[in-house]
Structure 1
Amino acid sequence: MHAMQYRITLPADYDMGIVRRRVATRGHLLDDFPGLGLKAYLTRERGDDSPVNQYAPLYLWNAAEGMNAFLWGPGFQGIVDDFGRPVVEHWSGLCFADGPSAAAPARTAVRRTTRVPAEVSPGEAVAGAVAETERLAGLDGVVCAALAVDPRRWELMELTLWEHGDPAAAGERYRVLHVSAPGRAALRRGRHW
C-alpha cells in the first residue's frame, strides 16, 4: 500500500461550493481506477472547526503503477490546471484495517501525523503506531484506518475514516465528500511486513 495526499489551501473567502460541485461532478471518475484502493475526497472549511479552506484528497494505492498512472495522466493534470501544481506527500503503507462501520459511508476523516524521535528505535515506534491504529480501527463508528510512514522525514501518518461527524480521535478533521474505492477489498489488512 502507498498513501498519497496533496493539500490545496484556498483563500479565506474562497467559495467552497466550487470544490463540492467539482467532487459531485468528477468524483465518480476514479470509482474504477486501476490500482486505487481508495480515494477520500476531503475538505476543511474555515470557521467550521478549521483555520483554513482546504481541498485535500487522500489516496491509498494498491500498486505504485496505479499511483503513477494517476500522477502522470489526465486525472492529476486536472488538479494542476485548476489549482496549480501542489506538493504531493507520499508514505509507504504500514497497516490497514476495516472498522465496525466498514459498510457505512464515511462522513468524517481524521489525519494525524507524528514524528519518530531520533532517540526512539524506528521498529519500536512503528510497532506502537500499528497497535494504536488497530485500536482506533476497532472503535464504534470507524469505517477504516490506515497507517503509513515517510522514512525520509521519519513521519507517521494515520488516517481514520468515520461514519459519523464527531469522531473521538485527535488530529486534523476533514469532511468526506465522496469515497472512490475500486480496490478497497484488495488493500492488504493488518501490518505490511
Structure 2
Amino acid sequence: MHAMQYEITLPADYDMGIIRRRVASRGHLLDDWQGLGVKTYLVRERGVRGSPVNQYAPFYLWNTGAGMNAFLWGGPFQGIVDDFGRPSVRQWSGVAYEEGRDARSPARVAVRRRQQLPAEGPLSRTMANAAQETERLAAEDGAVLAAAAVDTSRWELIHFSLWKVDTPKADGDVYEVLHMSAPGRDRLPD
C-alpha cells in the first residue's frame, strides 16, 4: 500500500464553491481507476474546524505503484497541474490499514496527523505501535477506516482516518470529505 497527498493552499478569500463544483463534476473519474484503493477529495476552509487556510488536499491509498504512476504521469492529475500548477506530491509507504467500526457509512470528515518518528529504539517496535494506533482508531464509534504510513526520507509517520461524524475521535488536521472513490478498497492490505 502507498499513501499519497498533495495540498493546494488557496487565497483566504477564495470561493471554495469552485472546488466543490470541480469535485462534483470530476470526482467520479477515479471511481474505477486501476490500482487505486481509496481517494478522498478533501477540503479545509479557513476558520472552519480550526483551519488557518483554504485548501484542497486529496488523500490517496494505492494498491499498486503502477496505478499511482499512471495517475501521475498522464492521468487526471494533469488537470490539477493545468489549473493550479504542479504541486509537491507527498508519498508514504503503508504500515497498516483497518476498516472502521462504521465502514459501511459515508465519510463526512477526515483527520490526518503527522508526527516525527523517535530517533532511538527499534523501528519494528515503532511500526508495531503505529499498527496498534490504527486498530484503536478503527475501533472508535464513527470510524469508517484508518491507516498509517511512513515517509522514510523524513522519518515521518502519518495516521489517516475517515469518520462518519463531524466530531472525530482523533487528533490532527481535520478535513471535509467531498467525495470518495474506492474502487480497490476491499483489496487494501490489513
- TM (normalized to structure 1)? 0.96
| Equivalent AA in structure 1 for residue 102 of structure 2 | S
Contact between 2:110 and 2:174, CA under 8 Å: does it hold in 1? yes
Q: Deviations over 1:165-190 (max 9, x none)?
A: 1102100000000000000011111x
Q: Deviations over 1:5-29 (max 9, x none)?
A: 0011000000000000000000001
| Equivalent AA in structure 2 for residue 40 of structure 1 | T
Between the aligned partners of 2:9 and 2:163, the Cα distance in structure 1 is 23
Instruction: Indicate the percent of aligned positions where both proteins have the same amino acid.
Output: 64
Which residue is 1:157 aligned to? 158
Gaps of at least 5 residues in structure 1 are none
Which residue is 1:113 aligned to? 114
Alignment of structure 1 residues 42-121 onto 2, 5 Å: 42-49=42-49, 50-121=51-122
Between the aligned partners of 2:74 and 2:59, the Cα distance in structure 1 is 17
| Equivalent AA in structure 2 for residue 33 of structure 1 | W
| Equivalent AA in structure 2 for residue 15 of structure 1 | D
| Equivalent AA in structure 2 for residue 106 of structure 1 | A
Which residue is 1:18 aligned to? 18
Query: The residue matched to 1:136 in structure 2 has which SS?
Result: helix
Q: Deviations over 1:59-118 (max 9, x none)?
A: 000000000000001311100001110000000001100011100100000000111121
Which residue is 1:37 aligned to? 37
- 1:129 is displaced (CA, Å) by 1.3
Gaps of at least 5 residues in structure 2 are none
- 1:120 is displaced (CA, Å) by 3.1
Which residue is 1:9 aligned to? 9
Q: Deviations over 1:124-158 (max 9, x none)?
A: 21111111111111001000001111111111111
- TM (normalized to structure 2)? 0.98
Between the aligned partners of 2:116 and 2:124, the Cα distance in structure 1 is 13
| Equivalent AA in structure 2 for residue 100 of structure 1 | R
| Equivalent AA in structure 2 for residue 95 of structure 1 | A
Q: Deviations over 1:20-46 (max 9, x none)?
A: 000000000100000000000000000
Between the aligned partners of 2:128 and 2:99, the Cα distance in structure 1 is 18
| Equivalent AA in structure 1 for residue 173 of structure 2 | E
Query: The residue matched to 1:109 in structure 2 has which SS?
Result: strand
Query: The residue matched to 2:126 in structure 1 has which SS?
Result: helix
- 1:121 is displaced (CA, Å) by 2.4
CA RMSD, Structure 1 to Structure 2 (Å): 0.7
Contact between 2:96 and 2:130, CA under 8 Å: does it hold in 1? no
Which residue is 1:142 aligned to? 143
| Equivalent AA in structure 2 for residue 70 of structure 1 | F
Between the aligned partners of 1:130 and 1:155, the Cα distance in structure 2 is 15
Aligned length: 189
Query: The residue matched to 1:23 in structure 2 has which SS?
Result: helix
Query: The residue matched to 1:67 in structure 2 has which SS?
Result: helix
